[in-house]
Structure formats: structure tokens, C-alpha cells
Structure 1
Amino acid sequence: MLLLISTTSSKSDGSLFFRIILLIYFLPTIVGFFRIPIIKYRFITVFFINTFLGFTVVGWWLSFMKAVSSHRG
């Protein structure tokens, strides 16, 4: 994911905009991956909620709150 964002392109075909949108869309997954590396099932939960319900505002916020919450479960 980060490799996709870090590659530079001299074309102005909208790919930078698409990469920024993908970064924002998968931000809860990225935060969950780096914040809770010990609890792998929680990262998987955040990933699935973000992937399948992230297009809704409620699903994105739910996955973001799950990624940054400090309690287990």
C-alpha cells in the first residue's frame, strides 16, 4: 500500500488523486496495523469492517474507532 503511494508518476492522469483517496479510505486499517500489532484478530476485524463497510461513513468511523480504541475486545 505504501509502495503504491510512494511511487511517483509524471503523468497527470488522476492517479495521485486515486492514491490519496485510497490512503484516506484505508487509514483505519493502516492505523490498526501499526497500533495493535499484538492483537492480530483485531487488525483483521478492522480490515474487514473497513473493506466491506468503509464506503459508508458509519462503517469508516466504526473501523477507525475500533483501530484507535485502547481496550481489548
Structure 2
Amino acid sequence: MLLLSSSMAKSDGSLFFKIILFIYFLPTIVGLLRIPIIKFKFITVLLINTFLGFTLIGWWLSFIKAVSTRR
């Protein structure tokens, strides 16, 4: 039993951290995928998401900006 428990991988929370970072930067990823459509929008989405993304309003603002079709 001791051998079995020592061979199991210990989770240090890195998967959780990666998932949180993916969700946090989801608007930026969407903006990056839409670069051929509107190039300047990516920089705007990246700045809003980086500096205001920790607030719920800032995250939604950057997500809406990333998926909108108007400049």
C-alpha cells in the first residue's frame, strides 16, 4: 500500500492555475483568433483584459469587445 501511494502523482494545483489563466485570458484568445478581421481590436482587448480583467465588468467588457464586429 505504501508503494502504491508513493507512486501516485501529487497535485500541486498547477492544472487549476492553468484553467483559471485560460478562463481569464479567454477574451484575449478570441481577439487573437479574429486578428485577420480587425487588427487593432486585439491590442484593445489585451489591455482591457490584462488591467481590468480581474473585475467581472472588465472581463465582460473585453469579451464583448473581442466578439463584436464593429470597431
Give the shorter-chain TM-score range. 0.7 to 0.9
2:30 matches 1:14: no
The residue number in structure 1 matching 2:66 is: 67
> Which amino acid counterpart does residue 68 of structure 2 have in structure 1?
S
Gaps of 5+ in 1: 1-9
Q: Secondary structure at the match of 2:20?
A: helix
What RMSD over aligned residues (CA atoms) do the two structures have, in Å?
1.3
The residue number in structure 1 matching 2:30 is: 31
Distance across 2 between alignment mates of 1:52 and 1:16: 23
Larger Cα Rg: Structure 1 or Structure 2? 2
Count of aligned residue pairs for this structure pair: 63
Distance across 1 between alignment mates of 2:64 and 2:36: 16
The residue number in structure 1 matching 2:40 is: 41
2:52 matches 1:53: yes
Aligned-residue offset at 1:11:
4.3
TM-score scaled by structure 2? 0.81
Distance across 2 between alignment mates of 1:11 and 1:47: 34
Gaps of 5+ in 2: 1-8
Percent identity of equivalent pairs: 78
